[in-house]
Amino acid sequence: MSINSIDHDQMTSITNKWDHSEEIQEETRPAKQAKSAEARRRIEALREIRESGLTLEEAKELGLIH
């Protein structure tokens, strides 16, 4: 199927039938996932700092944590 063979009116009518409540729910999930991923990275960084023997003050001075 070629992109030129798609009927634009048919595609428009299909998009008008979509349930927009699902889209709203999906938009909130990435923000939560991003926060969770950021928290996991921060925890892992703090573990690595602890394992290396650095203090938090030294890690801040080196720019490892903010």
Per-residue pLDDT tens for 42-63?
999 899 999 999 998 998 899 8
Position 55, amino acid: T
Position 47, amino acid: R
Statement: residue 15 has pLDDT above 70: no
How many residues are listed for the chain in this entry? 66
pLDDT at 1: 52
Statement: residue 18 has pLDDT above 60: yes
2 occurs within a structural domain: no
18 occurs within a structural domain: no
Structural domain count, the chain: 1
Per the structure, the complete domain to which residue 43 belongs is given by 35-65
pLDDT at 53: 93
What angle is formed at CA 42 by the lines to CA 40 and CA 45, rounded to 5 degrees? 110
pLDDT at 12: 73
DSSP single-letter state for residue 64? S
Determine how many CB atoms are found less than 10 A away from the CB of residue 54.
16
Listed in sequence order, the DSSP H helices in 1-66 are 8-15, 20-52, 56-62
